[in-house]
Each structure stands twice: as structure tokens, then as C-alpha cells.
Structure 1
Amino acid sequence: MTVLVLTGPKDATADLVIAELTGRGVSVHRLDPGEFPESLVLTARIGPRRPSWVGGLRGSHRDLDFGRVRSVYYRRPSEHRFHRDMSERDVQWAAAEARAGLGGLLATLDCTWLNNPRKNAVASTKPVALATAARCGLSIPETLITNDPDEARAFVGNLSGRVAAYKALGTQGASGIDGEAYALWTNKVGVAEIPDAVRLTAHQFQEWIPKAYEVRLTVVAGRMFAAKIHTSSEAALIDIRTDYESHTYEVCEVPCGVASGVRKLLGAFGLHYAAMDFLVDQAGEWHLIDLNPNGQWAFVPELRNPITQALADLLEGTP
């Protein structure tokens, strides 16, 4: 039996887990679905006398038998790649067929997923995550989603301090007119900074919470690994992702009430793993601002080994 790791060719985080599993003598098969169909051959059958799919993938160096997969670590697989001579229309059709074919067959694997990508997709939807977190008893910021600039200005004007955090609803990257990707960081906005162009799409505005520090909480099969994130950078005080060099980390405990809410939240989405971000205010209250079911975790040095081992335990099936 083997652990299947689905990720791209350069994933140092997945490498840590693969090394831990290999060191334990566990068979690991690393696979990037993006290599299909150019470098992988897919064959699987089902029928009246075979109620489950039988088959697998043949590669240039190693084959995968679907029936021998004990667990799946879904990390960061790349997009399917196709022959350069195919037209754009043919590529779009072929990509949809590849996702339905290979992705559909992988989805039938009856084993532990960390995490199932369909569950990741639901949990990554911010309006769903916030509503579910609130129902699970976690504190969340007052939040408005709108494309009405007047509603946005009224919302911000009624907040304490008359400022809000403006945050992207979808992925934290976007493409400009030239097609180049760029980051959409959190911004601190006042009433006068909200343009009429808000009407062009949905926007998210959240109560600005003056923080004492942030906490990155990583959860693996109910086990919690938390670290305070302190920063001395003005930019990182608004969005910690803008200046990682200014961070210092301090391992901390999770309050019982927060831990209970987090377990309920992950249970509601059926997740074995999640990385969560909290703002902790001056009174010590934890406010959930982000749930990432496939978030990074290796950047806190003191927690790198414990989280690696917890992930390997889950994938290996260790109690």
C-alpha cells in the first residue's frame, strides 16, 4: 500500500512529509496531475462484475495502481498541460475532459484524503466559511459584502474608528490587463477611499480589529499547533504577508472555547487539515479572519517537525 501525494514539481512543504514517511518505511508515490496526459497514461475499467474502478496510471519511471492507495495528500497539483500544437478551443475541451476523467477517478479512491479537494473548495469560499464559523461559536469580524458603494461607505462610517479592512473574496491574486499576476493584499480603508467603482463587482469590508498579535493555528486530525505572530513592520500590521522578514513567532496554547469551535468548524466541512488565522485583540479575544484548508504550515520553525509528524501519522494511519 502507498501514500499518494498530489502536488507540483516544486513543493518543499510536501517534501518534508514525504521524507518523514519514507524514513518510517512507508511507500510514497508522488504525482503531479499536471503531467497528464503528456507524460502519464491513464487506464481504468468498471463493469457489472467490477463494481469499483480497476486500473491506474503508467509513467515513464513508475506506475500507480489505484487499488494500492492507502491515503492521499492533496497539496498543490499543477494544471494539466497539453501539446503546444493544439488550438485554444481544443485545449479547453481537453482540460475539462482531463479533470473529469483523471480527477473523477481519483475522487473514487475510498481512503483518507488530506483533504478532499471538493471539501477544500467549499471551505475556501469565504462567505460560507464565515457563516459556518459563527454558527460554530467562533468570533468573527463584522463583515459586509456588497457592490453598492453607498452601503459600503455607510458600513465603514458606522464602525469604530471609521476604518475597515478591505479584503479579496476569492484567491489572493489577480491578473491585470497585461496578464501578469499580482497580489491583492488587505488594505485599511476609510469612507473617503471607497470609490464608485465598487459597483463593478462584489467586495468585502470587515471591521478593523486593533490587534495585539496574530495567531496561525494549524490543525491536523484534531491536533492543534498554534503560534503567535509578532511584527514590527507597519505594512505587516495591516497584512502580515507583505513583510515576512519582520515576523517573530511564539508557540502558544489555544483557549478551550476557541479549540471547541475550531473542531466543530472542521467537522462541519469534513476536513482533516486546516490552517487558520486569528486576530487577537488587546483584551485577548480571538477573532477568526481566514480559514485555508490547504494553507502553508512549515514557516514556523518550532512547529515544523511536530506538524510534519502529525501529517505523516494521519497519512500512515498511525493512531
Structure 2
Amino acid sequence: MQAEELVNDPSREACVELTLDPLGSMSDLDAAIFAEPLRMTPADLVRLQLESSLTLDAIRAEAIRVEIAWQRDLRRWYEEGRVAVESGEPEVALLVRVLEGLRRQVLYGLGGVLTSLPGCLYVNHPNRIGDAEYKPAGLAAAVAAGFTLPPTLITNVPDDARAFLKQHGPAIFKPISVPLYLVDGKAQTVPVTEVTADEIDESLAGTMHLFQRRVDKVADVRVTVIGEQIFAVRIDSGLLDWRTDYGTHTYTPLVTPPVVERAMRAYLEHFRLVFGAFDFALTDSGEWIFIECNPSGQWAWMEPPTGLPMTAALADLLEGGLRAH
């Protein structure tokens, strides 16, 4: 309402007049837009203020939360990195935090793009690799696929571990996730190790451990599945863990038993993989005991001594994928 309309209002003291500044430049009155005064009662003001405050506060809070989290991370990463570099003596822990923050941006940015390519054949899809690398999930899938497995226990309870080792010994320990690290510039890993019940102490409670009955094997078998093609190689090394010394190996191509091939296909289908490197322990009775499947396993070192055309098989798989899409 215009201000003059309030003059004769019997309850004008109970009214509030709100006016807004003109929109536009006061130097150009023709272009300026003038807001009309607005007459409201105190009750209207209270109700409007309450409703608008609740709505705006919720919107503002969410926007601020997201913005603060994003800006906080970015500012911390870049500022800490700048300070560390300019100091001339950067703190290692600080630089690690900065690099980890930036790494995550690349992982979820570039990685997100690469995992979302339409009509693309992945060998294998990164998300499927992540699923299959969980060893407990792999063991469960192996049982469902029909493989033969040794008795296995995953636990952080010392008494349970001791009981398992006493019942199923000789037994071995192996990492649930394989850590890779460098020593003198050479890649290293944690080998499979035989373990007894009296070696278990309370420190085992700190994290999960995987124990299995040691398979009485005569050799190991690595089977590389590349699309529809299967390449099985017997590895004779005399070692508990053949990965610890490649210089001891002799390689012999094998034909995969049909029951094992069916189980491998079921396993790969479960995780939606087109490639898998399966490891088996071969017993003196000819039984293939499932150890694990690596969705990103190495294979190229076996091609020269065996003559198996694994590189050509991978090329065919990729080329067929391109044709199919």
C-alpha cells in the first residue's frame, strides 16, 4: 500500500511498512524500478519470518556445509603443499596428506570418467576388479562356483586361530590384501608362510588374518582366462609360495579339466569379469585345489617359455570388443 493509505487506518500502529530501494540507477529515473510499499501486520511478519527462516536456514545450511567441506579440503591441500614447498624443508607427513588429497581428486574425477565410458569393453572394469579383490568374497564365490577349497579361517580372535591350526595343521598364513612395496628398487610382497598354534599371540587381535590348511601339492597351476580362451600352465618349483623365486620354475602347458573350466566360467560370471588369473595347487591324485583368482594377474612372463599365444588372445579380445561396440 501507499503510505498515505495508512493515515486513516484505525490500526495503523499495528502495521509495518516495508519498502525496498529502487532497482537500477537513481541517475536514470526512467530506467529505475520502484518497489511498492508493502503493508503487513505483526502477525504476518512473525509467520513470514518463521516460515522463511526455516526454509532458508535449511537451504543455507546444506549449501554452506557442502561449500565448506569442499573449500576446506582444497584450501588445506594447496595451502599445506605451498607452505611445505616454500619452507625448503617440507614435512614428509604433510606432503603425504597433500598428495593423498590430490590423488583422491584424480581418482574420483578422472577415474569416474574412465569407469563411465559408454559401449566400452573393459578388461576388466575397475569396479568389478575392486569387487573381486576382496578375498572373503572371492572365497565365497569359489565355493558357489563348485571349486574344491582347503579349510579356511578368517579371524582376529587368537583362540579361534589356535584351535583352527591345531585341527587343520600343517597350515599357512597369507595376507587378505597383498601389500606391494619396494626394497632396493625391487618389488616385494608378503609371502605365504607356514604357521603353528604356538606362534599365535594376542597381537593377532589387532586385525583380520587368513589361515588355510596347507595343501599337500606336487605342483602349482596358473590358469589365465582371456575372454573365451584358457591357458593353463603347470609350475614346478618345490616352493611353498612359487612367487618367492621365479628362477626355480619350470613351466608345462596343461589342458584344463572340464569341471574346473565350468567353475572358472561361473566365478568370472559372478564378478562380471572377462579376464582372470586363477591359482591352483595340484595334488598327487590330480585334484585341482582352488587358491585364489586375481582379476589383474600377471601372465606375460609365462608366454616365452611356453609358447602360449596369450598376447594374441588379449589382442583378439580387445579387437572383438571394439567390433562388438
Q: Which has the higher helix share?
A: 2
Please name the residue that 1:170 is paired with: 177
Q: Which residue in 1 is equivalent to 2:311?
A: 308
- Partner Cα distance (1:181, 1:221) in 2: 29
C-alpha RMSD of matched pairs (Å): 2.4
> In the alignment, which of 280, 283, 286 is matched to residue 288 of structure 2?
286
Contact 2:222 / 2:280 at 8 angstroms: preserved in 1?
A: yes
Whether 1:275 and 2:283 are equivalent positions in the alignment is: no
Change (3 A) 1:174 1:308: closer
Q: Structure 1: where are the runs of 5+ without partners? A: 1-81
**For residues 304 and 108 of structure 1, do their structure 2 counterparts lie closer, same or farther at Cα, with a shift above 3 Å needed?**
farther
Secondary structure at the aligned position of 1:141 is classed as coil
SS in 1 for 2:263: helix
Cross-structure match for 1:239? 241
Structure 2 CA distance for partners of 1:151 and 1:238, relative to 1, 3 Å:
same
User: Which residue, out of 162, 184, 187, partners 2:193?
Assistant: 187
The residue aligned with 2:154 is 145
The answer to whether residue 166 in structure 2 is matched with residue 157 in structure 1 is yes
Larger radius of gyration: 2
Alignment match of 1:100 (pick from 95, 103, 108): 108
Counterpart of 1:115 (choices 121, 124, 145) is: 124
Q: CA-to-partner distance for each residue in 1:161-199, whole Å, 9 max, x for gaps?
A: x221100000243699xxx98521100112222222111
Aligned counterparts of 1:174 and 1:133: Cα–Cα separation in 2: 28
Residue 252 of structure 1: which of 254, 260, 267 is its match? Answer: 254
Structure with greater strand percent:
1
What letter is aligned with 2:281?
A: L
How many equivalent residue pairs?
229
Partner of 2:220: 214
Q: TM-score, normalised by structure 2?
A: 0.66
CA distance in 1, matches of 2:307, 2:133: 23
**Percent of aligned pairs with the same residue?**
38
Gaps of 5+ in 2: 1-80, 87-93
Q: How big is the shift at 1:121?
A: 1.0
- What is the alpha-carbon distance in structure 1 between the residues aligned to residue 313 and residue 188 of structure 2? 33
Residue 211 of structure 1 aligns to a residue in which SS?
coil
SS at match of 2:122: strand
Aligned mates of 2:277, 2:297 — CA distance in 1 = 5
Q: Distance in 2 between matches of 1:288 and 1:245?
A: 24
- The TM-score, its normalising length taken from structure 1, stands at 0.67
| Aligned partner of residue 218 in structure 2, secondary structure | strand
In the TM superposition, residue 302 of structure 1 has moved relative to its aligned partner by 4.4
Matches of 1:197 and 1:174, distance apart in 2: 23
